[in-house]
Amino acid sequence: MDFSLWIRGLTALIQPSTIGWLILSSVIGYITGALPGMGAALTISLLIPITYYLDPAVALIIMGTIFTICVYGGSLSAILLNVPGTAGSAATCMDGYMMAKNGQAKTALGISTGASFIGSIGSTILLVVGAQVLLKPMLALGSSEYFWITVLGLTIIASLSDTGMVKGFIGGCIGLLLSFVGQELVTGTYRYTFGSLYLISGLELVAIIIGFFGVSEVIGMMVGKEISISKVNKLSGSVWEGMILPFKYLGATIKSFIIGFLVGVMPGVGYSISTWLAYNEVKRTSKHPEDFGKGSVEGVIAPEVSNNSTVGGSLLPTLLLGIPGSDTAAVILAGMIAHGIMPGPQLLSQRADLVYTFFIGLLVAGFFIIIMGLAVLPFAAKVTVMPLGIVAPIVTILCFAGALSINVSVNDVVVVVLTGILGYVMKKLDYPIVTVVLGFVLGPIMEENMNRAMLAVGGSIKGLFVSPLSWIFIILVIASVGQSIYRQLKNKNKKEALV
């Protein structure tokens, strides 16, 4: 590594206008991240025309900063209101919101700050150091491997079903069923569209998430007797305290970091999946798996580290191959090309100055996470002790606005309302609604890759088994299923022994 490049990158950064843009894009990224519906992809694509008038290095810094901070901002609304700001924060709702309910909103927000900081700084460093080494093996993964990885992801349903496998399976199947709606990629068949043009492009992930997490919770807030989101009406803990926790649970942090980064490098798969994989892995290996879903510290660390490390991971193939690792990376790629920065293996040698400015910008954005966190969070956490009579209606409007911002379509609002009601009913009846979201996220990726693997060998099911690499994942799937059956049986025996 050339040290002078870092110095040059740093001097390019230390200019009043560059720092000004850095601050401004952090603030914009944080707000658009925290607001449901608006994500990094949308924000960056709207800002690209403005960056035309700026230096390419500054443009790169703006895009990188917004990407990083947006993902972090999404956790703010996930923890405080159970409305994930971006798809990468859906898993954070699980334990983050529970902590807020227990009056530990400040701690939970602190954890998310510390974890996002580690995820983003770590992934930037790994991006610089391990770029060339990691790329080739990741590209070796083909459709059949992707298929088995998503099947592995679906086995998480079993471990998320604390109230019984049957209910978990029903949730997962409903999620998959919802994901089938729309025009199928390979055949062009319309599935469950009922002649509606709106349904042809399928249901929006963001609408499903806002509905199942946000609106279902709002209904609960309206009906319940609680005074505020926090049941104890007093805020315990502090942001500082929370920020240190990811360092204490270093095992969970490192595992989530690696999972997040590797999933990020895979094209077409993003943080809407890596967070769940990390959550499951940390839960599986935790000393206290029973605390998950009730406000576990590790349960917040896992998705928060992994969503930010996915960001770094997805930039790797973007910069080195011009292959975007996620939808936001695709927009960044478009922005780079618009500035005449051609991605590819030659980028590191030919435009090294630019790349290192970008890396330094990403590192600084990591530190901005902490600054933003300390500046905003202690006040934001007070939302959880505000009267629900005020909070619940505001969250309702935010959910509707988030749904509208996807396509400016009233139909999306209808979807959000209906899934919200369904989610509320399921929650009341002890169905684990996360399994619905998981099924919805994994369904299309599973089906598309299944079709690709089969079509590549002329349409036969053999395509799923021919690659030797995929057998690694098949074995992992069998192991995962076996483990949950074993655990289920053990629990049953225990219960019977108690009775």
Partner 1 sequence: MSKKSKAVSSQHELYFAAFVTILGLVALVMAFGFSPRARILPIPVTLLLTIMGLVQFWNSWKQMTFEKSNKDTGISANATVPFYRNPLLMTIICILIYPLLLKFLGFIVSSLLAMVYLMRLRGVKSWFTTSVFSIITPILVYYLFNVIGGTNFPKGPWGF
Partner 2 sequence: MKGFFKKGLLLILVGLLIFSLSGCGQNSGATNDKKEENQSSEGAVNYPTKPITIVVPYNPGGGVDTSTRTIQPFLQDALGQPVVVENRPGGGMSVGYNYVAGAKPDGYTFMAAPIPTMIFTDLTLPNLKAKFNEFKPVASWVNDDCSPLVVRADSPYKTLKDFVEAAKSKTMKLGLSGGAYSTDHMTYAMLSEVTGVKFNLVPYGSSGEALAALEGGHVDAILASLVTAITAQDAGQAKILAVSKNERLSIAPDIPTFKEQGYDVVIEFHIGLFAPPNTPDDIVKIMADKLVQAASSEEFRNRVKEVKSPAGEPMTQEEWSKYCQDEYNRWKEMVNILEKHPLG
Interface with partner 1 (CB under 8 A): 28, 31-32, 35, 37-38, 42-43, 46, 162-164, 166-167, 169-170, 173-174, 176-177, 180, 184, 186-187, 189, 191-192, 215, 218-219, 221-223, 387-390, 392-394, 396-398, 400-401, 404-405, 408, 410, 413-414, 417, 420-421, 425-426, 428-430, 443, 446-447, 450-451, 459
- 4 vs 346 by CB, closer to partner 2: 346
Helix (H, G, I), strand (E, B) or coil at 140: coil
Angle (CA) 351 328 54, round 5°: 45
- Smallest Cα–Cα separation from 242: which of 362, 385, 115, 101? 115
- 66 vs 300 by CB, closer to partner 2: 66
DSSP sequence for 425-472? HHHHTT--THHHHHHHHHHHHHHHHHHHHHHHTTS-GGGGT--HHHHH
Residue whose structure tokens are 């902490």: 370
Give one word for 326, left, alpha or beta, with left for phi > 0 and alpha for psi -120 to 50.
beta
Residue from 197, 429, 497, 499 in contact with partner 2 (CB under 8 A):
197
Residue from 306, 307, 451, 470 in contact with partner 2 (CB under 8 A):
451
User: Which 8-state DSSP code applies to residue 81?
Assistant: H
> Which amino acid, 467?
S
238 binds, among partner 2, partner 1, none (CB under 5 to 8 A by kind): none
Q: Which residues contact 14 (CB under 8 A, 6 or more apart)?
A: none
The gap from C-alpha 197 to its chain's centroid, in whole angstroms, comes to 29
Q: Note whether 323 binds partner 2 by CB under 8 A.
A: yes
- How would you classify the pairing of strands 182-183 and 190-191? antiparallel
Q: Note whether 343 binds partner 2 by CB under 8 A.
A: yes
Stretch that binds partner 2, among 120-128, 273-281, 326-334, 435-443 (CB under 8 A): 326-334
- Smallest Cα–Cα separation from 51: which of 38, 66, 70? 66
Residue 190's φ and ψ, nearest 5 degrees, are: -85, 120
Nearest approach, Cβ of residue 410 and partner 2 (Å):
12
Q: Are 77 and 92 in contact (CB under 8 A)?
A: no
Residue 114's φ and ψ, nearest 5 degrees, are: -60, -45
- Residues facing 190 on adjacent strands: 183
41 binds, among partner 2, partner 1, none (CB under 5 to 8 A by kind): partner 2
Structure tokens at 270: 């993003």
Give one word for 293, left, alpha or beta, with left for phi > 0 and alpha for psi -120 to 50.
left
Nearest approach, Cβ of residue 187 and partner 1 (Å):
5
- In the range 387-416, which residues lie near partner 2 by CB under 8 A? 387, 390, 407-409
Nearest approach, Cβ of residue 156 and partner 2 (Å):
23
Neighbours of 486 (CB within 10 A): 10
215 binds, among partner 1, partner 2, none (CB under 5 to 8 A by kind): partner 1
Q: Note whether 322 binds partner 2 by CB under 8 A.
A: yes
Q: Note whether 468 binds partner 2 by CB under 8 A.
A: no
d(CA 92, CA 109) in angstroms, rounded, equals 10
> What x/- string results for residues 129 through 158 when contact with partner 2 is judged by CB under 8 A?
----------xxxxx---------------
Stretch that binds partner 2, among 58-66, 110-118, 154-162, 187-195 (CB under 8 A): 187-195
- 238 vs 411 by CB, closer to partner 1: 411
Q: Note whether 87 binds partner 2 by CB under 8 A.
A: no
Nearest approach, Cβ of residue 31 and partner 2 (Å):
9
Binding site for partner 2 (CB under 8 A): 27, 41-42, 44-46, 48-49, 52, 139-143, 183-188, 195, 197-201, 267-268, 317, 321-324, 327, 330-331, 333-334, 337-340, 342-346, 379, 382, 385-387, 390, 407-409, 448, 451-452, 455-459
